[in-house]
Chain A
Amino acid sequence: MGGTLGMNAQLVTAGPSAYWYLTRSTGAVALLLLTLAIVLGVIDVERWNTSRWPRFVIDSLHRNVSLLALVFLVAHVLTSVLDSFASISIVDALVPFVGSYRPFWLGLGAVAFDLVLAVIITSLLRARMGFVTWRAVHWLTYASWPIALVHGLGTGSDASGIWLLTLSILCIAAVLAVILTRVIVGWRENVALHGVALGSAGAFLLFIVLWLPSGPLSSEWARRSGTPPTLLSHPQTTAKSHRAR
């Protein structure tokens, strides 16, 4: 780390790199699109439609938004690797928990990315696998989304900034709302399954409510989340003092 410190010290004086901004923005957009994909997916399976929004349009939108989310996800991963600030290698981006920068929270991102990849690849190859297998993998989206969200809040060094927080809260609200409608509609069909869904959603909400204040929103978060000590006093890490509103 000693060698890179020198190089980083030079870059520091130039201010945060373009990649730094790109990583954050693509990450945020990816989160937004993933949220939209889930909302559309649930609406799709609930068979909601109007004459202006027929089923095949909702279905196509769902598929296309998911692919767009993947594009932004890939951009997010690439720019985070290219951003020399935190020394994230491509391996760290795909294999969870092996990195040096906030390993756990970054690792969650890798997990989410792997899950999204699995879902999208199986969907593209749907014709070649049984429907039941495809659907089982597809349900992994319900796991990938909260992991992605928590990853964003945990790794973003500007988690306490108002914009990411607002975005995250809006996304949580959207997904919880749509899951609620799904549970209400499908309750009779399978009480056990929808009970578990409702319970998990509630548990996740509780986790967020409890974790945020003592976690990312606390002043000690950068250190506790595993930022390497050499970067702790870095202007970018403390950049939350000059957040763009």
Chain B
Amino acid sequence: MSALNSTLTEPLAPMAQQCVPALPRVLYGVPSRGALSLEEHVAIHGTLPSTGGRGRRRARERATMLIEEIERSGLLGHGGAAFPTAAKMRAVAGARRRAIVVVNAAEGEPASRKDRTLLETLPHLVLDGGVLAAEAVGADEVIVCICESADLGIESLTRAVEERVAAGSGHSPSLHLVVVPAHYVAGQESALVNYLNGGPARPTFTPPMPFEQGVKHRPTLVHNAETLAHIALIARHGAPWFRQLGTPSQPGSTLVTLSGPLTYPGVYEIEHGASLSSLVQAAGGTTARLRGALLGGYAGSWVHSDLLSGIALSNEHLAPYGASLGAGVVLLLSEHACPVAETVRLAGWLAGQSTRQCGPCAYGLDALAMTVLEIAGGIAQARAKQRVEHLASLTARRGACSHPDGAVNLILSSLETFEAEFAEHARHGPCDGCARPPEMPMPYRAVSQCGSRGTRR
């Protein structure tokens, strides 16, 4: 778990009293066990800056001020797309019908644990953010969506909502908890909205976008849980405080799930632009040599171990390497693992996670997985690489969501980063490392319950 534990035997000074910009921010006061109660949360962070409207005009003024503060802070979404948070809030606030806020902690990405960790340990910070966002866009309802496999998170969230209701602050906006299925694409915005509207957790064709017409056909603001935690802090401490850390283009801090051969793998809070080496150091260093690092999750890109020492963790710094932070995933692959075998398994898994609603995604990812398997097994047809590139162009950007795009990105990145290893396998077939157990997590095998339509023609 997180290395930044504190036992809370002595009361923590409120964060605002720090005179030096420092971490932790979101993880400030995170308990080593269980969750912060409402009382403890208020003791550290103070009460919510705005507590219910006293007159509609003042409420609207406060709402506009919050959105402007978020805009000044330069906060970007923490769900993977890094979309400007304020822009999203403005779009929903400007809609005519009453809005709804959805807190996205579905976290379908297997290599990411930050959202469920937040809800397990610091649910009130996320709920604060949800309530603030609701006031900012004029919503009367906040729905927190959490993955069905996050038992602890569900438990602590339920208790947190009960605490708020008991304290009299759980009704405006009303807080609801919804458990969503554990699938890779279940956390995609339109899939989430589809599920909340009573349908399956599968993406839908957009437009209309959720911010125009989402849950119950109302304008819906979908934010990642961590994004809302940051909103809760910015509302208290202001945009300049937020910008004291991070880079100009990606200010503030972020949660990162660090996994692989490390002494202390887990969820860490870093400032944007921190070096990978410093993060690894904070995690107690590696326990094996590395082949490379996967950044951004299973829709992300690899960086070869030769280049890792120079890496800084912000999208701006990673762009030249063809990578991005995504939802804050840093997965280190040890030298014992065979990157080719891992890629083959991953390609198959990603194909299996397709909801098969769109032909190009269903057939394209299947064909890509098959071709990669052939290359790895040394039985590839001639011109296999060209075939992969051709399939990639047929598959990416031709589905209703970005799943095929991400899968194609990952596969192409694997082939490029580990070109030497793939060439070896193409010539000589499987290596010793291929037989080892997989290092990369691949849960939720039975995705067909997502509602596939059987084999497509």
Main DSSP-derived SS at the B contact region = loop
Which residues from chain A contact B454 at a C-beta distance below 8 Å? Answer: 189-190
B9 within 8 A of A: no
Smallest CB separation, A193 vs chain B (Å): 11
**Min CB gap A227→B, angstroms:** 50
What string of 1s and 0s marks CB contacts (under 8 Å) between A184-210 and chain B? 000011100000000000000000000
**Count, chain A residues at interface, CB 8 A:** 4
B18 at the interface (CB under 8 A from A): no
Looking at the assembled complex, report how far the CB atom of A27 sits from the nearest CB atom of chain B, in whole angstroms.
37
In the complex, which residues 401-457 of chain B have their Cβ closer than 8 Å to any Cβ of chain A? 454-455, 457
Cα of A154 to Cα of B455 in the assembled complex, Å: 43
Contacts of A189 in B (CB 8 A): 454-455, 457
Interface size on B, residues (CB 8 A): 3
Which A-chain residue is minimally distant from B453 (CB atoms)? A189
Smallest Cβ-Cβ distance to A186: which chain B residue: B457
How far apart are the CA atoms of A190 and B456 in the complex, in Å?
A: 11
Q: How far is the CB of A136 from chain B (nearest CB, A)?
A: 16
Q: Which of B60-114 contact A (CB under 8 A)?
A: none
Interface hits, A167-221 → B, CB 8 Å: 188-190
CB distance from B400 to the nearest CB of A (A): 15
Name the residue on B nearest A46 (C-beta): B457
Closest to B454 in A: A189
Main DSSP-derived SS at the A contact region: loop
- Chain B residues contacting A188 (CB-CB under 8 Å) are 455
**How near does chain B come to A189, taking the closest CB pair, in angstroms?**
6
A186 to chain B, nearest CB (A): 9
Shortest distance between the CB of A55 and any CB in chain B (Å): 13
Tell me the smallest distance from the CB of A14 to a CB of chain B, in Å: 59
| In the complex, residue of chain B having the shortest beta-carbon distance to the beta carbon of A188 | B455
Chain A residues with Cβ below 8 Å from B455 are 188-189
Within the complex, what minimum Cβ distance (angstroms) separates B7 from chain A?
Answer: 57
Query: In the complex, what residue of chain B is closest to A185 when comparing beta carbons?
Result: B457
Closest to A189 in B: B454
Q: How far is the CA of A188 from the CA of B457 in the complex (A)?
A: 11
A122 to chain B: closest CB distance in Å?
23
A190 and B454 CA atoms in complex are apart in Å by 8
Give bound CA distance, A151 to B454, whole Å.
38
Complex Cα distance, B457 from A47, in Å, reads 10
Residues on the A chain within 8 Å of B457, using CB: 47, 189
| Cα–Cα, bound, A132→B455 (Å) | 18
- Cα separation A190 to B457 with both chains bound (whole Å): 12
- In whole Å, how far is A204's beta carbon from the nearest beta carbon of chain B? 27
Give the shortest distance, in Å, between A203 (CB) and chain B (any CB): 26
Q: Mark A43-64, 1 if CB is under 8 A from B, else 0.
A: 0000100000000000000000
Bound-state Cα–Cα, A116 to B316, Å: 63
Task: Give the distance to chain A from B89, nearest Cβ to Cβ, in Å.
Answer: 33
What's the minimum C-beta distance from A32 to chain B, rounded to whole angstroms? 31
| CA gap between A190 and B453 in the complex, in Å | 10
CB proximity to A under 8 Å, residues B143-199: none
Distance (whole angstroms) from the CB of A162 to the closest CB of chain B: 43
Most chain B beta carbons < 10 A, residue from A47, A188, A189: A189
> A190 to chain B: which residues have CB within 8 Å?
454
Interface string of A26-48 (1 = CB under 8 A from B): 00000000000000000000010
Task: Please give me the residue from chain B that is nearest to A47 by CB atom.
Answer: B457
Q: Would you give the 0/1 interface string for A67-104, flagging 1 where the beta carbon is closer than 8 Å to chain B? A: 00000000000000000000000000000000000000
Nearest neighbor of A190 in chain B, beta-carbon distance? B454
Give Cα A168–Cα B454 distance, bound, in whole angstroms. Answer: 37
Instruction: Report the Cα distance A189→B454, complex, angstroms.
Output: 7
Roughly how many angstroms separate A189 CA and B455 CA in the complex, as a whole number? Answer: 7
Instruction: Report the Cα distance A32→B160, complex, angstroms.
Output: 70
Give the shortest distance, in Å, between A131 (CB) and chain B (any CB).
12
CB distance from A43 to the nearest CB of B (A): 15
CA distance A189 to B457 in the complex (A): 9
Please measure, in the bound complex, the distance between the C-alpha atom of A188 and the C-alpha atom of B454, giving whole angstroms.
10
Tell me which residues across on chain B come within 8 A of A47, comparing CB atoms: 457
State which residues 106-141 of B face A: CB under 8 Å.
none
Q: What CA separation (Å) do A190 and B452 show in the bound complex?
A: 13
In the assembled complex, how far is the CB of residue B252 from the closest CB belonging to chain A, in whole angstroms?
Answer: 45
- B379 CB to nearest A CB, Å: 27
A181 to B: closest C-beta gap in Å: 15
Closest approach, in angstroms, between the C-beta of B446 and any C-beta of chain A? Answer: 20
Whose C-beta in chain A lies nearest to the C-beta of B456? A189
CB B309 to nearest CB in A, in angstroms, measures 54
Alpha-carbon separation in the docked complex, A47 to B456 (Å) = 14
Taking the closest CB of chain A, its distance from the CB of B225, in whole angstroms, is: 34
User: Nearest Cβ in chain B — how far from A36, in angstroms?
Assistant: 25
Closest CB in chain A relative to B363 CB, distance in Å: 15
Complex CA distance for A40 and B455, rounded to whole angstroms: 25
**In the bound complex, how far is the Cα of B456 from the Cα of A188, in angstroms?**
11
Bound-state Cα–Cα, A47 to B454, Å = 19
CA distance A190 to B455 in the complex (A): 10
Minimal beta-carbon separation of B366 from chain A (angstroms): 16
A240 to chain B minimum Cβ distance, whole angstroms, is 49
Q: Which of B285-311 contact A (CB under 8 A)?
A: none
Complex CA distance for A105 and B295, rounded to whole angstroms: 73
Instruction: Determine how close the nearest CB of chain A comes to the CB of B80; give it in whole angstroms.
Output: 32
Minimal beta-carbon separation of B60 from chain A (angstroms): 39
Tell me the bound Cα distance from A15 to B457 in angstroms: 58
Complex CA–CA separation, A188 to B455 (angstroms): 9
A132 CB → nearest B CB, Å: 12
A189→B151 CA distance, assembly (Å): 37
Q: Report which A residues bind B (CB closer than 8 A).
A: 47, 188-190
A and B contact pairs by CB, cutoff 8 A, 6 listed: A47-B457, A188-B455, A189-B454, A189-B455, A189-B457, A190-B454
Across the A-B interface, the 4 shortest Cβ-Cβ residue pairs:
A189-B454, A189-B455, A190-B454, A188-B455
